[in-house]
Structures are given as C-alpha cells and as structure tokens.
C-alpha cells in the first residue's frame, strides 16, 4: 500500500477492520463497523445468513450494481479442552500447519478474549523422522495457561464452540508504503466498499455495497446475497496474494505488490463477463489507473457463487 495516495483516515479504517476479530460465522465486529460507517449513506439491511448490505439509490433504480466484499477471516473453533487444560481445535478456512506453530491467538468467550499460543510436542522430544515431517493438525493444541480443565472452562470461560482468532497487529513497515496485519483478506475489500458508498454522490444507478459472511468456508454468504439484493451486475472486491516472491517465476507474476489492482478474468470458479471486463480495463486505461490482468489456475472468490444467483449476474 502506498500511503502517499491513501489518507490517514483510510489507513485508520483499514487498521480498525483488520484488528476486528471476525472468523467465518462470527463476523459481528466487522459488521458493526460496516453498519456504523454506512448507516447514513443508504438503507442498511441484513439477509438471514448474516450478510449486511447498504443500498444507495441514485437517479434511477436500475441498473442495480453490487459491490461485494466478504467480512470473514480464517481462524479456528474450540473442539474440546483436555483434562490438563489445553485447548484442542479445528480449523475454519484453509490453513497450512507450517504456519501455526507458536502462533498467538485469542479465544473469544462470551465475556472476554482469552490469549493463548499454539504449541505441539517440542522437537527435542521427537524422533528424527517426525522432526522432518510437517506437523499434523491433530497434534497441535493451544496453551492458555490453565492449570486444568476446570480452570479453563469455569474461570476462563473457554468452551467448545468458542471462536479462535489469530493475533496480528497492524504494523507500519520500515518502507512507509507497506503495512503488515492479519485479515487483509478481505478487510481491504470491505474498506473499499465503505469508502465508495461514503464518497459516491450524484450517480445514475442503484449501488448496493455488501459485506458477506462465510466466504472462507465455501462462499456461503455469496450464495444468498444475489437473491437478497437482485443485482444486474456485480463487482467482487477481493484481496488475492501477491506472487512477486522468492521461489515464484518472475515471468509468471500477475500480482506484483504496488503495481495496481488485479482484474481477474478467470479462475476455476468463475469466468469474467468479457464485455464487463473490457469496460473495466478500458476505464482503467483512460483514467491511467494501474492494474494487472490475472488468470488463475486455482482459488476462487465470491464471484463464483454470485454469478450463478438470481437470474444470472455478470
């Protein structure tokens, strides 16, 4: 991110959104920010699965243009507490177990956030064969400092079903253009939806800005939002990974950090409407907006579900 083109107000919004704890199915903190920022910008509604959307009518009720962003982040759910007070968990969304060891987390109880650290059997106590293997998720646990199960449950309030969220402070890096935080996927998209609806005036269409739920576990919010909002066209705002990294073929890079947004034309879940894609690219070129073209062999976004909803949505 280049903060020479981004206001401090926008940076603060992104900080607030990334520091909100909102794994799939528990998007309440992000939803609260969305509502508070947009309640004066248009009509706020929710669908029955929990997605929130703000409708802003311009000079005409049609076409209805949906700006979608998902609110949830990947995380974990408490499965059980051992007799010794350690927390066993299941993953919510896609995780590599490589990244989990020593990860700090917060367990969200009814009244508090309980800090903990993901651990496993130390390498000193493993035979060489296991030391050289990727740690199995079943072998991981969360240490919350509880002396036993009773203390974890009765004193700390940790119970099966509690959401668990990674800790990732919003950190400006030495390069002033860049920041580190958790949940840029997809709080960047949520921030874009919020600021677009706040700033958009005198437009000829009906704009619907949406924060969808449960994208990370199967595009579930996106499956219902098309029926709830009945859009004529949709633009999905996502935060895909940059691929200008060590170990990746530089000739194959389609998402270089700092080179502008990606316009995704294809992934296994969705093929962009050619006319809409051409319009977006032509508009970017005319206004000298940096952009990159992405064709992906894997992954997907809410577009994979939204385009199949309602009567079909380009």
Closest to 30 in 3D by CA, of 173, 182, 144, 156? 182
Assign 3 a pLDDT band (cuts: 50, 70, 90).
very low
Domain edges within the chain: 8-73+183-306, 75-166
H or E stretch covering 264: strand 261-267
Query: Average pLDDT in the 259-272 region?
Result: 96
Crossing angle of the two packed helices 8-19 and 184-199, in degrees rounded to 10: 130
Same fold? 8-73+183-306, 75-166: no
* pLDDT recorded at residue 127: 82
Separation in Å, CA 167 to CA 53, 56, 113, 117:
28, 35, 11, 10
Query: Average pLDDT in the 11-39 region?
Result: 98
H or E stretch covering 270: strand 270-271
Strands (E), 190-232: 206-212
* pLDDT recorded at residue 202: 87
- Please tell me whether residue 34 adopts helix, strand or coil conformation: helix
Closest to 23 in 3D by CA, of 142, 143, 162? 162
φ, ψ at 9 (rounded to 5°): -65, -40
Whether pLDDT at 1 is above 60: no
- Report which of residues 272 and 310 the model is more confident about: 272
Fold of 8-73+183-306: Aminopeptidase (3.40.630)
**Superfamily (CATH H level) for 75-166:** Peptidase M42, domain 2 (2.40.30.40)
Can 198 be counted among the known catalytic residues?
A: no
- Report which of residues 197 and 247 the model is more confident about: 197
Closest to 236 in 3D by CA, of 311, 199, 185? 185
Whether pLDDT at 2 is above 50: no
φ, ψ at 170 (rounded to 5°): -75, 115
Contact 11, 173 (CB under 8 A): no
- Please tell me whether residue 180 adopts helix, strand or coil conformation: strand
Closest to 239 in 3D by CA, of 47, 22, 72? 72
- Please tell me whether residue 123 adopts helix, strand or coil conformation: helix
Select which of 27, 215, 216, 238 is catalytic.
215
Q: How far apart are CA 213 and CA 193, in angstroms?
A: 15
């Amino acid at each position: 991110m280049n903060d020479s083109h981004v206001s401090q107000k926008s940076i603060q919004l992104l900080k607030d959104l990334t520091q909100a704890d909102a794994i799939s199915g528990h998007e309440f903190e992000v939803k609260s920010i969305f509502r508070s920022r947009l309640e004066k910008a248009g009509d706020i509604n929710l669908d029955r699965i929990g997605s929130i959307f703000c409708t802003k009518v311009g000079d005409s009720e049609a076409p209805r243009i949906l700006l979608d962003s998902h609110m949830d982040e990947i995380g974990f759910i408490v499965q059980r507490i051992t007799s010794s007070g350690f927390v066993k968990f299941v993953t919510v969304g896609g995780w590599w177990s490589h990244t989990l060891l020593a990860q700090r987390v917060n367990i969200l109880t009814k009244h508090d956030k309980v800090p903990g650290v993901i651990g496993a059997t130390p390498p000193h106590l493993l035979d060489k064969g296991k030391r050289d293997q990727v740690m199995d998720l079943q072998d991981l646990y969360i240490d919350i400092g509880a002396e036993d199960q009773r203390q974890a449950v009765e004193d700390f309030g940790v119970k099966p079903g509690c959401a668990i969220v990674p800790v990732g402070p919003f950190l400006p890096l030495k390069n002033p253009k860049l920041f580190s935080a958790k949940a840029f996927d997809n709080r960047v998209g949520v921030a874009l939806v919020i600021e677009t609806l706040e700033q958009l005036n005198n437009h000829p269409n009906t704009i619907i800005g949406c924060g969808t739920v449960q994208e990370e576990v199967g595009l579930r919010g996106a499956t219902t939002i098309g029926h709830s909002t009945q859009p004529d066209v949709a633009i999905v705002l996502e935060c895909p990974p940059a691929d200008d990294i060590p170990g990746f073929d530089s000739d194959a890079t389609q998402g270089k950090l700092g080179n502008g947004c990606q316009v995704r034309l294809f992934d296994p879940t969705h093929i962009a409407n050619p006319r809409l894609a051409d319009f977006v690219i032509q508009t970017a070129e005319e206004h000298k907006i940096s952009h990159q073209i992405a064709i992906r062999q894997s992954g997907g976004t809410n577009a994979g579900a939204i385009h199949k909803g309602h009567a079909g949505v380009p």
